[in-house]
Amino acid sequence: MADNQSDLVILGGGSGGYACALRASQLGLSVTLIEGAELGGTCLHRGCIPTKALLHSAEVADTARESEAFGIEATLTGINMPKVLEYKSGVISRLYKGLQGLVKSRGVNYVQGWGKLTSPTTVDVDGTTYTGKSVVLGTGSYARSIPGLEIGGRILTSDEALELAEVPGSAIVLGGGVIGVEFASIWNSFGAEVTIIEALPRLVANEDEACSKALERAFRKRGITAKTGIKFASATQDDQGVHVTLEDGSTLDADYLLVAIGRGPKTDGLGFEQVGVAMDRGFVTVDENLQTSVPGVYAVGDIVPGLQLAHRGFAQGIFLAEHLADQSPAPIIESGIPRVTYCDPEVASVGLTEAQAKAQYGESAIKSIEYNLGGNGKSQILGTAGFVKLVALDNGQVVGVHLVGARVGELIGEGELIVNWEADADDVANLIHAHPSQSEAIGEAHLALAGKPLHAHA
């Protein structure tokens, strides 16, 4: 095919777009991938990876600060923020190089430039038209702000917060969702005084209520203030700092204000509506095969309503490539996608919350159990509190796994297998978990659910 014609034209080289490109080329389809900024998108450059690098630096700081409790005589003398940023950039640039190499080696036609959809089969980049038998939209998302609240100076979104070359003495975090609590956790570990403002009644409100309560308790212990159920009214800034007023009239001052109230779809002015792509509040709506209202035009990632997570984007990209290559891939079930909030302690979950399960199956058809990490040897060694909560149907099938505690994000892979393979408590109770490991807590929770608890009171 000519250079400007391919089986697939993909607009946006983030998690969704590049995963689709890599899988499609693996399946023998010719692919043009158009990216205006940097291959890898939000996740690699301004999202998952940089935040987790900062969280790791934060963990090192906490370990040094608390070393005495473990009999180690170390002193935390300071946080060298430029050095932290250098470490973070090093991680990104290694992954970025690797990804660029992958895209090249798979024979993807990579086009650097901002594209616009001009018809169901064409994308224009600076006057050059790229034609595809199918077009995939994967233009991602941006950090939203409140109307009238201008970003700049001391008022930041996660984009600016990731580049901040100093540790704030104090910070107000507007929004107690995933991004807000992760930054609150980082800055607190670095020594800042942090206040979170959340309009909903609890932090990480999409999680099971028990997880929110445990996180709020842990944050309180760490000295992070969470003001929940209260709305932001306005903010001003001057040389001294930011001054925030809440709807109840109370005021707060800090060095910085982080606006972390969610992410909007990047779909404005890209020709989608003109071509007839149906939208819902800026998001692109799709059918079960990720096809938009326009035949041959598909969408993946954050612009599709649902969980805004990188691994959902990867999964959708792979699904779509396989679908277009007539491989009949299994549909993606949104509730089977694992979710991790990487603050300290971590919150990880997959499947239904207790409230969702009760709404779906009826109150009496659901049982739940919490196994406290107090009984888990490895968690005691690490000095972390938390729990494993299982939500199950009365026939024993586990429909939700919810975890709180240091490092539990690494455990959710097992939770994912349990929920997505529709395992029963008995199935998992029979599996042996290595001792002492945090994964044992998952085994113990299933032993308890199966009616034979070991390190737990019956």
Judged by CB under 6 A, which stretch of 34-42, 187-195, 370-378, 424-432 contacts ligand FAD? 34-42
- Cβ distance to ligand FAD smaller for residue 115 or 453: 115
> What residues between 46 and 75 interact with ligand FAD by CB under 6 A?
46-48, 51
Bond from prior residue into 453 cis (ω within 30 degrees of 0): no
Judged by phi (left if over 0) then psi (alpha if -120 to 50, else beta), residue 40 lies in left
Least distance from C-beta 238 to ligand FAD, angstroms?
Answer: 27
- Rounded to an integer, what distance in angstroms lies between the CA atom of residue 367 and that of residue 393? 6
Minimum CB distance to ligand FAD smaller for 255 or for 302: 302
Residue with tokens 């800034």: 237
Residue 32 binds ligand FAD, judged by CB under 6 A? no
Of the pair 14, 241, the CB lying nearest ligand FAD is at 14
- Least Å distance, CB 189 to ligand FAD, is 16
CA distance 404 to 340: 10
Sign of CA dihedral 300, 304, 308, 311: negative
DSSP SS3 for 16: helix
What lies within 8 Å, CB to CB, of 49 at 6+ separation is 43, 91, 92, 95
Of positions 16, 180, 345, 415, contacts ligand FAD by CB under 6 A: 16
Stretch of 10-18, 278-286, 393-401, 432-440 lying at the interface with ligand FAD (CB under 6 A): 10-18
In the list 202, 227, 311, 358, the residue contacting ligand FAD (rule: CB under 6 A) is: 311
Q: Is the dihedral of CA 307, 350, 196, 185 positive or negative?
A: negative
The single residue of 402, 435, 446, 457 carrying the catalytic annotation is 435
Contacts 24+ apart (CB under 8 A), 222-227: 222/185, 222/188, 222/344, 223/188, 223/193, 224/184, 224/185, 224/188, 224/194, 224/195, 224/196, 225/194, 225/195, 225/196, 226/176, 226/195, 226/196, 226/198, 227/195, 227/196, 227/197, 227/198
Is 43 an interacting residue with respect to ligand FAD (CB under 6 A)? yes
Going from the C-alpha of 259 to that of each of 185, 256, 311, 413, the distances in angstroms are: 15, 10, 24, 31
> CA 72, CA 69: separation in Å to the nearest integer?
7
What is the contact mask toward ligand FAD in residues 102 to 121, using x (rule: CB under 6 A)? ------------xx------
Is residue 42 a contact residue for ligand FAD (CB under 6 A)?
A: yes
Report in angstroms how near the CB of residue 288 gets to ligand FAD at its nearest. 18
Annotation says 56 is catalytic: no
* Residue 94 exposed, middle or buried by CB count within 10 Å (0-12, 13-18, 19+): exposed
Residue 174 contacts residue 246 (beta carbons within 8 Å): no
Q: How far is the CB of 380 from ligand FAD (least distance, A)?
A: 27
Which of 25, 122, 134, 141: binder of ligand FAD (CB under 6 A)? 141
Task: Give the count of alpha carbons within 13 A of 397, CB side only.
Answer: 12
Asked whether position 337 contacts ligand FAD by CB under 6 A, the answer is no
Strands 170-174, 346-351: pairing is unpaired
Segment interacting with ligand FAD (CB under 6 A) among 7-15, 145-153, 206-214, 418-426: 7-15
Tokens coding 188: 């607190």
Residue of 9, 10, 310, 412 interacting with ligand FAD (CB under 6 A): 310
Interface region with ligand FAD, contact rule CB under 6 A, candidates 2-10, 24-32, 138-146, 432-440: 138-146
Nearer to ligand FAD, 25 or 376 (CB): 25
Q: Which stretch binds ligand FAD (CB under 6 A): 35-43, 189-197, 209-217, 249-257?
A: 35-43
Task: Give the residue, chosen from 20, 34, 244, 412, that forms a contact with ligand FAD under the rule CB under 6 A.
Answer: 34
Total chain residues near ligand FAD (CB under 6 A): 36
**In 48-186, where do the E strands start and end?**
109-112, 115-119, 122-125, 128-137, 141-143, 155-156, 170-174
* Residue 418 CB neighbours (<10 A): 25
Shortest gap between Cβ of 175 and ligand FAD (angstroms)?
11
Closest approach, Cβ 300 to ligand FAD, in A, equals 6
Instruction: Give the single-character DSSP code of 412.
Output: H
270 binds ligand FAD (CB under 6 A): yes
CB of 13 to ligand FAD, least distance (A): 5
Pairing of strands 128-137, 297-299: parallel
Question: Using the rule CB under 6 A, is 158 a contact of ligand FAD?
Answer: yes
Among 15, 122, 189, 195, which residue sits at the site for ligand FAD (rule: CB under 6 A)?
15
Kindly write out the interface string for residues 250-269 of this chain, putting x where it contacts ligand FAD by CB under 6 A and - elsewhere. ----------------x---
Active site (catalytic) residues:
435
Q: Which residues sit at the interface with ligand FAD, rule CB under 6 A? A: 11-17, 34-37, 41-43, 46-48, 51, 114-115, 138-141, 158, 179, 266, 270, 301-302, 308-311, 313, 342
